Amino acid sequence: MSEPDLAAILERYRGEVAPGSDGDRIMRGRLSTGILDTTEENVRRNRLSAEEIDDLLTYLGWNLWDQLAARATEGESGLIPRQEYETITFVQEWHRFPLFIEELTRSLGVDGVIDLGATPRREIGNKVNHLRIWASAVCPLIGRGIALALGIGEPWDRIGEVNTLLQFMRRLHHGFWGGGPGFASARGYQAAVLDDSWIKRFCDEETRLETTDAMATFRRFNGATELLGFLLHFDNRAGLCDTGPYPLPDGGFMIVRDHFLNEPAYWWSDAVAGLPHAVTQAMFFRPSDDIRVTINDIGTTFAQPRDYLKHLSGVAVYARDTWDTPVSAVRRLEAEEMRAIERAASTATIELYRRIAGLSRRDRIMAGVHVYLREMMMPFARQAGVWDHFVKDLQFDEIAPLTAQAYYPLVNGSAMQILPPLFMLGDGFVKFGERACW
């Protein structure tokens, strides 16, 4: 792809559609159904129509570009072969997640799935969040696109499984948002879903950052825990998620940020022993200048101007010690414990880095597959009480034969060729059109 072509594609989806809310309006104008909105009726249907499925695929192609096209230019990692493990995991998810979703839905019922999606409204420090809700369908669908690019399967195959993926995501979205548009991109990139009781608690427990030292202490804490969240989860965003912005009673706004620091599901987690499962930062901003803050469907905050942290004026910070610590036992962190966590996070970062650097390329790839696969289903399954069943009885971690077929080309150069067009051109979201066999 030439540089002018790449620039045009990064600027507009397929060279045509703007990013942001302007692009959302254009894309919604191209849909033939109203399926982008969740309703009590349409999330309870077992079957979406072929037109509804194609509308969702159409929108998701733009939605993915809007969030991640620029990231697709990030190039290689000198440490973790992320494009290789992502692509393998996406293909695995395409082949196996419909089964796990059907099991989950049988176990919880539709109302239970909707209630599962509502978890982020009532809890902090929980990996059931809108990043994973979005990923529950989008990641396997990217896998479908990769498989097709590798010649595995046909575009008209498995419309039932695509239906399963999309309807699961939609049910979770219905619980998360309470109905209406299912994507932050269709809601002006605002994801202020936490119950008012949490907002009140954060406001009551705010600590103003009134000295240079206090500000520096918090920024080191924020940076160190975010960095560890990335490294522990092998350089993807499973280790963090933001919601907001929440308007403050006295003006300004709040962002609520989870960093996940300790996950017992991974064999390298002894490096983070003693750290809480999650820390949550309620960050208070009282800007003196105009600033626009957005939070996207994968829980990442962007701002214009970019350095939003210079407007930070107060914080309230919490820890959830294990993934199943009752939310009532979430505890507030004082400065001394924050400093201790920051030091421990920095130490753990070096330790993990050394370990990862000492692995073979194949072991790094397979560790990345392990974490990326588990992160997109385990939080749902754990909360639903079926995770052990998935692992022991349904061989959750075992690689499907068709994934194994994709493995060799993906680790030998194809990943870096295949993934950018999927992100940049929507090539992964192949519509069924007249070939839909229902």
Partner 1 sequence: MTDHNGYRQIGQGLNAFEAEPVEGRVRWLDSPEDVLDFVTRDDVAETIVISRGGTTTFMAPALSAGARGLITLQGAPESHLGIVSREFGIPCVMSVAFTEGVQTARGETVPADGTLVRLDVSTSPAGFVLVPGSP
Nearer to partner 1, 288 or 328 (CB): 288
Q: Considering just the CA atoms, what is the radius of gyration of the chain in Å?
A: 21
Q: Is 250 buried (19+), middle (13-18) or exposed (0-12) by CB count in 10 A?
A: exposed
Among 84, 226, 258, 375, binds partner 1 (CB under 8 A): 226
Instruction: Determine the 3-state secondary structure of 256 from DSSP.
Output: strand
Whose CA is closest to 215, among 305, 314, 303, 345? 314
Measured in whole angstroms, the distance separating CA 272 from the mean position of its chain's CA atoms is 22
Among 93, 235, 263, 427, binds partner 1 (CB under 8 A): 235
Least Cβ distance, residue 356 to partner 1 (angstroms): 8
Is 75 among the residues that bind partner 1 (CB under 8 A)? yes
Is 343 among the residues that bind partner 1 (CB under 8 A)? no
Among 121, 219, 332, 339, binds partner 1 (CB under 8 A): 219
Size of the site for partner 1 (CB under 8 A): 36
Is 306 among the residues that bind partner 1 (CB under 8 A)? yes
Kindly list the distances between the CA atom of residue 385 and the CA atoms of 245, 272, 381, 391, in Å, as whole numbers in the listed order: 32, 25, 6, 12
Least Cβ distance, residue 297 to partner 1 (angstroms): 14
CA angle 170, 173, 176 (to 5 degrees): 160
Is 212 among the residues that bind partner 1 (CB under 8 A)? no
Amino acid at residue number 436: A
Least Cβ distance, residue 110 to partner 1 (angstroms): 36
Is 234 among the residues that bind partner 1 (CB under 8 A)? yes
Least Cβ distance, residue 90 to partner 1 (angstroms): 18
Nearer to partner 1, 42 or 294 (CB): 294
Is 302 among the residues that bind partner 1 (CB under 8 A)? yes
Stretch 166-205: interaction string toward partner 1, x if CB under 8 A: ----------------------------------------
Least Cβ distance, residue 252 to partner 1 (angstroms): 19
Ramachandran quadrant class, 38 (left: phi over 0; alpha: psi -120 to 50; beta: rest) = beta
Nearer to partner 1, 26 or 230 (CB): 230
Least Cβ distance, residue 24 to partner 1 (angstroms): 18
Instruction: Check if the beta carbon of residue 212 is closer than 8 Å to that of residue 317.
Output: no
Among 29, 78, 251, 326, binds partner 1 (CB under 8 A): 78
Is 375 among the residues that bind partner 1 (CB under 8 A)? no
Beta bridge partners of 293: 303
Is 76 among the residues that bind partner 1 (CB under 8 A)? yes
Full DSSP string of 130-189 = HHHHHHHHHHHHHHHHHHHHTT-S-TTS-HHHHHHHHHHHHHHHHHHHSSEESSGGGTTT
Least Cβ distance, residue 215 to partner 1 (angstroms): 10
* Dihedral sign, Cα of residue 8, residue 14, residue 16, residue 17: negative
* Dihedral sign, Cα of residue 218, residue 219, residue 222, residue 228: negative
Which three-class secondary structure string do you get for 225-248? Answer: HHHHHHHHCCCCHHHEEEEEEEEC
Kindly list the distances between the CA atom of residue 273 and the CA atoms of 227, 265, 270, in Å, as whole numbers in the listed order: 16, 12, 5
Is 292 among the residues that bind partner 1 (CB under 8 A)? no
| Interacting positions 237-256 with partner 1 (CB under 8 A) | 237
Is 313 among the residues that bind partner 1 (CB under 8 A)? no
Is 258 among the residues that bind partner 1 (CB under 8 A)? no
Is 356 among the residues that bind partner 1 (CB under 8 A)? yes
Least Cβ distance, residue 417 to partner 1 (angstroms): 16
Which residues lie below 8 Å from residue 187, measured CB to CB, with a gap of 6+? 177, 180, 181
Is 357 among the residues that bind partner 1 (CB under 8 A)? yes
Q: Considering only 79-87, 175-183, 198-206, 332-340, which stretch makes contact with partner 1 by CB under 8 A?
A: 79-87
Is 339 among the residues that bind partner 1 (CB under 8 A)? no
Q: For tokens 């959830």, name the residue.
A: 320
Ramachandran quadrant class, 32 (left: phi over 0; alpha: psi -120 to 50; beta: rest) = alpha
Is 82 among the residues that bind partner 1 (CB under 8 A)? yes
Nearer to partner 1, 76 or 334 (CB): 76
Instruction: Check if the beta carbon of residue 31 is closer than 8 Å to that of residue 37.
Output: no
Nearer to partner 1, 38 or 63 (CB): 63
Q: How far apart, in whole angstroms, are the C-alpha atoms of residue 92 and residue 95?
A: 5
Q: Considering only 23-31, 46-54, 57-65, 228-236, which stretch makes contact with partner 1 by CB under 8 A?
A: 228-236
Among 11, 22, 74, 270, binds partner 1 (CB under 8 A): 74
Q: Is 265 buried (19+), middle (13-18) or exposed (0-12) by CB count in 10 A?
A: middle
Binding region for partner 1 (CB under 8 A): 68, 70-71, 73-80, 82, 219, 222-224, 226-227, 230-231, 234-235, 237, 300, 302, 305-307, 309, 346, 349-350, 353-354, 356-357
